[in-house]
Amino acid sequence: QSSSTSSMSGLKLSGDKPIQIESDKLEVRQNENLAIFTGNVSVVQGPTLLKAGSMKVYYVKKPEAAGKDKKPAEDAGVSPISGGANIDHLEIDGKVYIKSDDQVATGDSGTFDMKSQVLVLSGKKVVLSQGPNVLVGCKLTVQMQTGLAQVDACGGRVMMSLTPNSKNAQ
Amino acid sequence: MELARPVEIAGSDVGAAMAQPEPNPVRVTAFGRARQHSQRVRVLKLLLPLAAVLIAVAFPVYSYWSAPPAVDVPTDTSAFSDGKLVMANPKLEGMTRENLRYALSALRAVQSVDNENIVELEDIHAKLPVTAANTATIGASHGIYDREKNTLDLDQEINISTTDGVVAKLKSAFLDMGKGTMTTDEPIDITRKGSQITADTMSVKDNGKVLVFENRVRLNIDPATLQAGKQQGGE
């Protein structure tokens, strides 16, 4: 199973810029610490843009204070409105499109884990392109902090086409 | 009986006496007195009925004239104004299905007589429990409370703030106290610690556990709060 790693930087999550999420509908389930955005969801942060059919945001559940007196957990109402809630991970599906600076990645669905800052895009045909260079496979893993992207062919072949002179053209 | 007969005899004498010489004095005084009596009777016959009529007329006129034009019955400030019952700062408290206390008070409550279930409230202040530790305080300038269905229709500007720091501004809202739901189909704006949600409609289900925003939902998260969130999580 050949996989090629190429360090295409760019798909980074700039932590300090405000995030703006837009969608047709948002349902927040406080008990399940879950927020579901549906209907052409778009997430913008600095240069990074993500578009998808729907996005589920899972928040960190407050660990039950075992043993301590059964005081109801303070911020039981964990939700995007509460802003401060820290996100555990996101699940994105319905034709995912991620663009950051000059890199574009598309796939059928994806997950993004906040703690490890790893974005995984999967689908029949996952494409990562930077300018004219294109990488096609069935699974794309991007370390958002470093921008390191890795495409797996999961059995098939990774198709990568580099246009040499494009490297220095940028 | 004795009296009746002599009168007839006298009658015939009078005719005969006219031509005779001077009658005797006893008959003359009797006749004088009789004539005076009949004069008095003739006068009284006129005077008495007249006096009766006069009295009959004078009495109603006098009583009408002496009655006061208007009688003002002193009453205390009645709580009725143009057919409506007006209550000053009413209070209402109850328990939602999760057995959490909710309270509703207002500056004025106006209740129309024909349908006492509908109460119009002004300057409303309500406390709705979201969770045991988190209650929402709602302020609205005007609303209509339906006692039967236990619902509150706020049709003007509403400000909501919860103990966990959420501040919400709504244009109108329909609250169902018993079920603990709230819906609004006018734009909302909710902020908390720097992050903000705006949407065209919102509905809150079972006491704030489930919130559904629809149409042009936009959520801005300010990373500072995210960082704060992480530190909190990191402890």
The string of DSSP letters for B91-139 reads EEEEE-TTS-EEEEEEEEEEEESS-TTEEEEEEEEEEEEEETTEEEEEE
**Burial class of residue A147 (count of CB atoms within 10 Å of its CB; 0-12, 13-18, 19+):** middle
* Model confidence band, residue B129 (pLDDT cutoffs 50, 70, 90): confident
Return d(Cα A12, Cα A50) in angstroms, integer: 12
Q: Looking at residue A13, what is its pLDDT?
A: 57
pLDDT band per the 50, 70, 90 thresholds, residue B184: very high
pLDDT in tens, B19-59: 566 778 888 899 999 999 999 999 999 999 999 999 888 98
Residues of A in contact with B132 (CB under 8 A): 72
**Buried-state track B93-112, b at ≥16 Cβ within 10 A, e below 16:** eeebeeeeebebbbeebbbe
Q: What's the mean pLDDT in A56-63? A: 79
pLDDT by residue (tens digit) across B57-69? Answer: 898 888 888 777 6
Q: Name the pLDDT band for B89 (thresholds 50, 70, 90).
A: confident
Is the minimum CB–CB distance between B163 and chain A shorter than 8 Å? no
Average pLDDT, chain B: 80
Q: How confident is residue B174, by pLDDT bands cut at 50, 70 and 90?
A: very high
Beta B84-88 vs B188-192: how paired, if at all?
A: unpaired
pLDDT (tens digit, 9 = 90+) per residue, A120-159?
999 888 888 888 888 888 888 888 777 788 888 777 777 7
| Phi, psi at A166, each rounded to 5° | -70, -25
Q: Which ipTM score applies to this complex? A: 0.73
Smallest CA–CA separation between A143 and chain B, in Å?
Answer: 19
Confidence of residue A11 (pLDDT cuts 50, 70, 90): low
Asked if A164 has any chain B CB less than 8 Å from its own CB, the reply is no
List CB contacts (< 8 A) between B197 and chain A. 26, 80-81
Question: What is the predicted pLDDT for the residue at B1?
Answer: 47
Per-residue pLDDT, B81: 67
Q: Against a cut of 0.80, is the pTM above it?
A: no
CA distance B189 to chain A (A): 11
